[in-house]
Structure 1
């Protein structure tokens, strides 16, 4: 049995610096692509308000998941938190939300990569570019997590350097009228509804930092390193989100930014021209930011699919590990093929709404897990405790619920599509998954051992 348990576990190699790089890297494409789609209704001020609300939500949640990851250090991450707090059904739905988030995020970012490539080479097909990216990074992830982390650090430092360069060049050229409109113009074109509509896109500036707990099994000292990685990454992203939105909108204005598929080169080009050196650099080397996030979301969906499969909720073949590399190669490849098909058939604007809905389901579950486990199991070892508990998880929980309703306003059809997806997942759980749970998987074993202890006491 011991050998079987060991064969199901991942290799521990990650340090706090690796975690920071992966956390920032998986999100950083939000600065390069996606955040701007809500601007037509929100304007700069409405977008800024939406960003602040989402920063509070993610910041509060980051403190909560830092606590949870030291208590339950498993690849299941969000699924394992909800499983422990609220049982297997809620754990499964949380896992589906996470898979939906990252599985959809991968083709969304791939489309963004295609947009940047077409800025430089208009003849290059978006699908071809996406297929090449999928192939390259699936191979890298199969080779190993440590090798990927090293590559990710290089990508992140280049992407950060480019953003800082844009700030230095762009800040002195900001046109205040682009930010606040001409005299007599509404600061927030859509009013409160405009802010609500911007929330799913403001999420794109932070979405995925919460994937880091899924790397707990691959972190050398999870109790010390995981909170450091999560919180340092969140602080970095907060600073970037505020400055990027201000500089880009200040340079190009709402009309240009609200429709741009390559917002940063478009912002520089609006002020300096398409041939300006920084516009060209952002369009070419700026791909690094998107690639960093693309590679990160492959890591995220593969770990959640692997954990759910290992625990029996998804078919067993999805948790197969490479014999020498100890990487979940099937969980890397299979969703990647399906994601590539999504690139062909769907618009990125709509895909973002699916990804954010799945994410918000998992956020609600994780915040509830912090609250429930403090009450239900106060004596669980917590190397990190959420500051200002219970206010912190409650604030994040309330904002996540508000953001879910924002997705309702953004696109009613896709809101109901998301509900249908979770309804189908529920049917699948009760028909198949419920009867195939593997109690020897780490996330499940930890729960069943606790239940056995409780039964013995009674």
Structure 2
């Protein structure tokens, strides 16, 4: 296949761009979603759940930093698993990644639509969500550098708002909002409460692991990828503790556990709903959601592009725009399907499918770190995971525990998620395995070195 060069993406990203995209795709988790487990966990239980998830993501980020320097391809998680465990494992990991981001997009779009229709009651939630989809599909087709510039503006506004909230809110925190008045249990439902909070604590970090999918678009992935991934996860760990502490300290457990917009609600509870910062957070808090939404479209389009280029998905999805070198059909077609989901489903249920897909890919990526060290000790690794094998093993165990936490959240949607993978396996055996393209970078690497 002489035109394999025509299937390669443009290299423009630096460590700063990677940090911006990594923090940007996750930051909406600070603005909504994390708070729904609070009724059972309380502040202390939420803090423990956040610490457990923080460790899982931190250790996984150290592992994928190693893998992204050894295998710098757009396939990211799929290419790691493909190399470590073969085509079926790679393909199923890719399906998990697509499920995570493709489903996260309508969840965030519904959140954006709700914010916009709150600010402008004449605009319907669905119309607002549709506008967001179309706008960001166009931005992503224009190019990744242009997207990274826009994302930098959104991320700095969202971060600025959070820092402003910390400054205004920290001195006003009420200790009894955090730890109760001394009569009640610190963690309302005990161990079960921490367990219940795990899928929601994930929202504070979910999606940082998409950065290796940008390896092909990074100027020097061997040096820049670890810098971008590690600076991103450190930033998010600091934000997770400050956001949960300030919001619960101002608003209290009862209000926070049910609020659709926890940050303006927390400021409103302490200073009154007409207080300027409550108003600013209610309107500009939207920026955090928009930053994540645009990042999610980037993530699913790159994984779909890589799987299509390698023959696992229909080839049309890896077509690149002639001048822009962006995978335009991998951006547009899933966007149309996502909009249909916005109309049909409740975001709370969709969250569970998204986290299930994510956890499948986390288990696979941690296994890949372990297997490739054994199977290919001489693979060039510009960055090596510290405290190996302790770090990937701990992250792997926590990911398995989290999958069980999501099972108990809603059995129906657990089986829906399993059903998606069953269909994917049937499709693989009936169609995809006969059409694998040995010239795709992820497959080519594999062929050369064995």
Q: TM-score range by the shorter chain?
A: over 0.9
Deviation at 1:443, TM superposition (A): 0.4
* Cα distance between partner residues in 2 of 1:256 and 1:421: 36
Deviation at 1:72, TM superposition (A): 0.4
Deviation at 1:347, TM superposition (A): 1.6
* Cα distance between partner residues in 1 of 2:111 and 2:238: 22
Counterpart position of 1:207: 206
* Cα distance between partner residues in 2 of 1:92 and 1:148: 28
- Are 1:341 and 2:340 matched, yes or no? yes
Counterpart position of 2:314: 315
* Cα distance between partner residues in 2 of 1:384 and 1:233: 16
Deviates more, 1:284-293 or 1:213-222: 284-293
- Are 1:231 and 2:225 matched, yes or no? no
Question: Is the contact made by 1:115 and 1:262 (CA closer than 8 Å) also made in structure 2?
Answer: no
Q: Deviations over 1:171-217 (max 9, x none)?
A: 11112121122332122122212111111110000000000000000
Deviation at 1:120, TM superposition (A): 2.2
Deviation at 1:113, TM superposition (A): 1.2
* Cα distance between partner residues in 2 of 1:290 and 1:128: 16
Question: Is the contact made by 1:19 and 1:226 (CA closer than 8 Å) also made in structure 2?
Answer: yes
* Cα distance between partner residues in 1 of 2:123 and 2:45: 36
Question: Is the contact made by 1:119 and 1:283 (CA closer than 8 Å) also made in structure 2?
Answer: no
Question: 1:281/1:264 Cα in 2 relative to 1: closer, same or farther (>3 Å)?
Answer: same
- Are 1:415 and 2:414 matched, yes or no? yes
* Cα distance between partner residues in 2 of 1:254 and 1:421: 36
Counterpart position of 2:375: 376
Question: Is the contact made by 1:438 and 1:444 (CA closer than 8 Å) also made in structure 2?
Answer: yes
Alignment of 1:44-193 (within 5 A): 44-193=43-192
Question: Is the contact made by 1:115 and 1:261 (CA closer than 8 Å) also made in structure 2?
Answer: no
Counterpart position of 1:456: none
Where does the alignment leave 5 or more consecutive residues of structure 1 unmatched?
452-458
Please report the TM-score for the alignment, with normalisation by the length of structure 1. Answer: 0.97
Deviates more, 1:33-42 or 1:137-146: 33-42
Question: Is the contact made by 1:196 and 1:409 (CA closer than 8 Å) also made in structure 2?
Answer: no
Question: Is the contact made by 1:112 and 1:262 (CA closer than 8 Å) also made in structure 2?
Answer: no
Question: Is the contact made by 1:117 and 1:283 (CA closer than 8 Å) also made in structure 2?
Answer: no
Q: Deviations over 1:381-408 (max 9, x none)?
A: 0000000000010010000001000001
Q: Deviations over 1:415-458 (max 9, x none)?
A: 1111111111111111111111111111011111223xxxxxxx
Deviation at 1:334, TM superposition (A): 0.7
Runs of 4+ in 1 over 6 A off after TM superposition: none
Question: Is the contact made by 2:117 and 2:128 (CA closer than 8 Å) also made in structure 1?
Answer: no
Counterpart position of 1:390: 389
Deviation at 1:104, TM superposition (A): 0.8
Deviation at 1:118, TM superposition (A): 3.4
Q: Deviations over 1:154-187 (max 9, x none)?
A: 1111110000000111111112121122332122
Deviation at 1:134, TM superposition (A): 0.5
Question: Is the contact made by 1:24 and 1:233 (CA closer than 8 Å) also made in structure 2?
Answer: yes
Q: What's the Cα RMSD here?
A: 1.0
SS in 2 for 1:437: coil
Deviation at 1:37, TM superposition (A): 1.2
Where does the alignment leave 5 or more consecutive residues of structure 2 unmatched?
none
* Cα distance between partner residues in 1 of 2:49 and 2:94: 26
- Are 1:359 and 2:358 matched, yes or no? yes
Alignment of 1:206-355 (within 5 A): 206-355=205-354
Deviation at 1:124, TM superposition (A): 2.6
Counterpart position of 2:424: 425
SS in 2 for 1:74: coil
